[in-house]
Amino acid sequence: MKKKIGTLILIVLMLGYLTAPAPILAAAQPIIKVALKIDASSYSDKIYGPYQVVDNKTGAVVATVNNSDGVQVDVSPDNGGDIYVLNGEGAVTTLPADSTGLYGVGAGGTVQALPKDYFMVDAQAKPRAAKGLALTVDGTPAGTFVGPLEFQRQSTQLNNPPLIGFNGKRYRGNFRLIPRSETAFNIINVLPMEEYLYGVVPSEMPTSWHMEALKAQAVAARTYALRQIKANPLAEYNVLPTDASQVYGGYDKERGSSSSAVDQTRGEVLVYNGQPIDAVFHSSNGGATENSEEVWSSTVAYLRGKVDPFDYNDWHYRSDPKNTVTYDKAGLITQLNLKGYNFGDVTDLIVDKLTTVGQRIQILRITGKDKNGNPLEVILKNADRVRTTFGLKARAKSMTLVKDPVTQELQSVTFTSEGWGHGLGMSQYGAKGRAENGQTYKQILQFYYTGAQLVGDYNQSQ
């Protein structure tokens, strides 16, 4: 009886194996393009590990490098080099590469126009080199190529990966060098999303922070990046490596804890109405996030203001002297003019409205005279405009005016703020506080992005 039962179990297991559905493959990672340098005049650094240099114009492999210690590679714009013309006496005249209307003078003194795309060396007419990028590998010229040139890695291993150096940092993935003019080209780092995030999360949040906070940061950064890719998938690049997008420090910035946070949330993004949200974040909200329309301009359903006691931290609330900014009258006029407001004199600053949740200055009216002595009034219509106009760390919590006790003439203004940044979306210090108080990354994200849904596989089911 035992033997028959064992045989029956074996048959059932085999049938289950044969009829089980094929495993669902993980969604393919989106590829992101990071503009490391716009209008570079040259590239000079090392490539570590197996790479091929490909001329994307023709698809030809024009160089191969494979040395873990690094191979020096140099690229510069090349407009054809110098043009050499033999004159009638046999002497060589050197002319600039962009010269036009060149003429050769024969031994008998006959002048003959040269074709625009030709030069002469040793009395032999030869085509000029095509305008493009001149490539040198390990000190040896490899040629000039119309481009774009692409440094393509030949291994995708995550540990000890092939890398490309640039400006003192090393990067995963490929580099794409795209000519923009006769003297400049863009340097674009092209790589899979998760490898990009390995260099973003530790650049945006201290890696010593709680894992749940790091995971929340990974999801927010992934969502932000995916939204940029979807906005214009054919764009030359999707993001910058600075806080104009989100900070990306490349391979040398990577740390084990932040990479683990990326791996543990692989493919997870936040969506609203089926689309990736604009997952903005900031360092510290000063005790409350805000409604989007009070900080910027438009209403965004998932960027709603909420009181946030978990954000509190000594530095952005107390210790940092930048929490207080003071302008005397002359400095105030100078600052306003730097921001494009044509004040010759300022007579008053009036708070017209505070934000609903954080009670920060939302609308500020500035009165005075222009440089011609005419009355001038400027209204700063949202909290972030107030913040950026006066160079504040965060939204203005309060404003104090000092006026002459006799004439009531404005003498100075002092703004105080708490936090750091625009105050919309996720607070990084708030995420830290919430994680340390037992909240999961999903709970953290749910708080800061109202009504947004966490989905997997880069939302590719949509």
Specify the pLDDT at position 462. 64
Cβ atoms of 253 and 203 closer than 8 Å: yes
List, for the chain, all residue ranges whose pLDDT scores fall below the cut of 50: 1-25, 81-88, 90-92, 95-99, 106-107, 117-130
On whether residue 32 sits in a domain, the answer given is: no
Rounded to whole angstroms, the Cα distance separating 105 from 91 reads 11
On whether residue 20 sits in a domain, the answer given is: no
Three-state secondary structure call for residue 111: strand
Specify the pLDDT at position 108. 52
On whether residue 286 sits in a domain, the answer given is: no
On whether residue 213 sits in a domain, the answer given is: yes
Q: Give the range of the structural domain holding residue 347, as residue numbers without chain letter.
A: 317-417
Specify the pLDDT at position 132. 82
On whether residue 299 sits in a domain, the answer given is: no
Structure tokens given for 450? 């109202």
Q: Verify that 215 and 271 share a domain, yes or no.
A: yes
Specify the pLDDT at position 12. 33
On whether residue 26 sits in a domain, the answer given is: no
Q: How many domains does the chain have?
A: 4
User: Where is 130: in which H helix or E strand?
Assistant: none
Nearest Cα neighbor of 391 from 326, 297, 342, 295 is 326
Q: Verify that 348 and 377 share a domain, yes or no.
A: yes
Specify the pLDDT at position 315. 86
What are the DSSP calls for 61-104, one per residue?
A: EEEEE--TT-EEEEEEEESS--EEEE-TTS-EEEE-TT--S-EE
On whether residue 361 sits in a domain, the answer given is: yes
Specify the pLDDT at position 9. 32
Q: Verify that 149 and 249 share a domain, yes or no.
A: no
Q: Verify that 361 and 409 share a domain, yes or no.
A: yes
Tokens 């900080």 sit at which residue? 295
User: Where is 216: in which H helix or E strand?
Assistant: helix 211-231
Specify the pLDDT at position 461. 75
Structure tokens given for 2? 């035992």
Rounded to whole angstroms, the Cα distance separating 314 from 432 reads 13
Q: Rounded to the nearest 5°, which phi and psi values hold at 370?
A: -80, -175
